[in-house]
């Protein structure tokens, strides 16, 4: 599996991908998921992939070597939308060639792609391409795309990134998002590829491959964990069986009667006639103080 994230901002684009691929618990490999199509001064495009590695490699090979049915390629496409159509056509070509054979071996046609960049004469654009070859484009209401193991790194992006976010802040957020994913899922792993593209440069100016020795990423991992713990410890514990007028952090008020859904014991099991009172946190604390 993998994790890739791309952000479209007013200042440009941010791309981040891991390089882990798994074929079982005892067969872990490294393959880079980010490919750059660059003609400096004319266009700069980035393609990132997740899913079946053989499928994504076949798609990249077709994109690099062939023209679409209309005679266009990524090097001659007039717009980013046209470039996304070319990627979609490549996905469908591989599907028509390989899907049936894969299905006979119980393998799904599983691939997800992110295409982003800029062609001279238009703004930066970002697309997500699905297994069927169809795609959607990022807009201000949804300024980023994720593919692969997306759920672990999503919350920080949702809380932080807006179209106005500066590129370096967005890159920091993407790295924190990746760190959260690395900590929660062993199918995502180092090294990482990070590319930051500034609007209208039409070339790659900032790119880095990040491994476990990278000083900034090590700082991110250490600092983010410590800050999360400090924030967590600074949030008050819940207060039970109090009144909302006397305490702002009431979880359960004394005026509200809450009962769980109980399963009655079967016949033959000795029971008391009346259930014991629910033990509350507040009562439990008072009992410990008395002892």
CATH of the domain at 141: 3.60.20.10
pLDDT at 246: 67
Based on the domain organization, do 129 and 217 belong to the same domain? no
Q: What is the dihedral of CA 85, 90, 95, 101, to 10 degrees?
A: 180
What are the residues facing 15 on neighbouring strands?
Answer: 6, 195
With a cut of 90, say whether residue 276 has pLDDT above it: no
| Cβ neighbours, 10 Å, residue 32 | 14
Q: Assign 23 a pLDDT band (cuts: 50, 70, 90).
A: very low
Based on the domain organization, do 175 and 239 belong to the same domain? no
Based on the domain organization, do 161 and 91 belong to the same domain? yes
Does residue 287 belong to any structural domain of this protein? no
Based on the domain organization, do 33 and 139 belong to the same domain? yes
pLDDT at 278: 57
Closest by CA position to 117, among listed 156, 159, 72, 80: 80
**Tokens 């967005």, residue?**
170
What are the pLDDT digits (tens) for 11-22? 999 999 999 876
Based on the domain organization, do 144 and 201 belong to the same domain? yes
Does residue 268 belong to any structural domain of this protein? no
Based on the domain organization, do 62 and 194 belong to the same domain? yes
Does residue 136 belong to any structural domain of this protein? yes
Based on the domain organization, do 197 and 240 belong to the same domain? no
pLDDT at 22: 66
With a cut of 80, say whether residue 273 has pLDDT above it: no
In whole angstroms, give the CA distance from residue 59 to residue 65: 10
- Render 69-130 in DSSP notation, one character per residue: TTS--TTT-SSHHHHHHHHHHHHHHHHHHHHHHHHHTT----EEEEEEEEETTS--EEEEE-
Based on the domain organization, do 150 and 227 belong to the same domain? no
Average of per-residue pLDDT across 251-270: 85
Does residue 271 belong to any structural domain of this protein? no
Based on the domain organization, do 26 and 136 belong to the same domain? yes
What are the pLDDT digits (tens) for 122-142? 999 999 999 999 999 999 999
Does residue 66 belong to any structural domain of this protein? yes
3-state secondary structure of 22: strand
Based on the domain organization, do 47 and 69 belong to the same domain? yes
Phi, psi of 67 (to 5 degrees): -105, 160
Count of domains forming the chain: 2
3-state secondary structure of 28: strand
- Write out the residue range of the structural domain in which residue 167 sits: 3-212
With a cut of 60, say whether residue 259 has pLDDT above it: yes
Does residue 259 belong to any structural domain of this protein? no
pTM for the structure as a whole: 0.87
The answer to whether the CB of 20 falls within 8 A of the CB of 1 is yes
With a cut of 60, say whether residue 235 has pLDDT above it: yes
Does residue 186 belong to any structural domain of this protein? yes
The answer to whether the CB of 45 falls within 8 A of the CB of 115 is yes
The answer to whether the CB of 184 falls within 8 A of the CB of 164 is no
Based on the domain organization, do 132 and 250 belong to the same domain? no
What mean pLDDT, rounded, does the chain reach?
90
Domain termination site, one of 160, 185, 212: 212
- 279 contact partners, CB below 8 Å, separation of at least 6: none
Closest by CA position to 13, among listed 267, 290, 204: 204
Based on the domain organization, do 188 and 91 belong to the same domain? yes
Angle at 37 between CA 33 and CA 38, to 5 degrees: 135
Does residue 267 belong to any structural domain of this protein? no
């Amino acid at each position: 599996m993998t994790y890739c994230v791309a952000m479209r901002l007013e200042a440009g684009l941010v791309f981040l991908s891991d390089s882990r691929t798994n074929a079982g618990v005892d067969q872990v490999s490294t393959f880079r998921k980010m490919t750059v199509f660059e003609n400096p001064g004319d266009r700069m495009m980035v393609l990132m992939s997740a899913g079946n590695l053989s499928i994504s490699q076949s798609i990249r090979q077709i994109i690099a070597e062939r023209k679409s049915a209309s005679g266009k390629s990524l090097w001659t496409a007039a717009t980013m939308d046209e470039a996304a159509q070319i990627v979609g056509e490549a996905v469908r070509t591989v599907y028509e060639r390989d899907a049936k054979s894969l299905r006979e071996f119980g393998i799904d046609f599983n691939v997800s792609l992110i295409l982003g960049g800029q062609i001279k004469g238009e703004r930066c654009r970002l697309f997500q391409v699905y297994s069927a070859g169809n795609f959607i484009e990022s807009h201000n209401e949804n300024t980023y795309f994720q593919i692969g193991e997306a759920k672990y790194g999503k919350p920080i992006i949702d809380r932080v990134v807006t179209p106005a976010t500066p590129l370096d802040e967005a890159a920091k957020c993407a790295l924190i998002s990746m760190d959260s994913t690395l900590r929660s899922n062993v199918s995502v792993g180092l090294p990482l590829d990070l590319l930051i593209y500034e609007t209208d440069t039409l070339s790659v100016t900032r790119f880095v491959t990040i491994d476990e020795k990278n000083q900034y990423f090590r700082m991110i991992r250490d600092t983010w964990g410590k800050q999360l713990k400090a924030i967590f410890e600074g949030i008050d514990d819940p207060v039970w069986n109090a009144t909302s007028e006397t305490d702002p952090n009431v979880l359960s008020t004394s005026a509200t009667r809450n009962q769980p859904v109980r399963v009655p014991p079967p016949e033959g099991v000795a029971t008391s006639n009346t259930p014991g009172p629910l033990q509350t946190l507040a009562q439990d604390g008072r009992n410990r103080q008395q002892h």
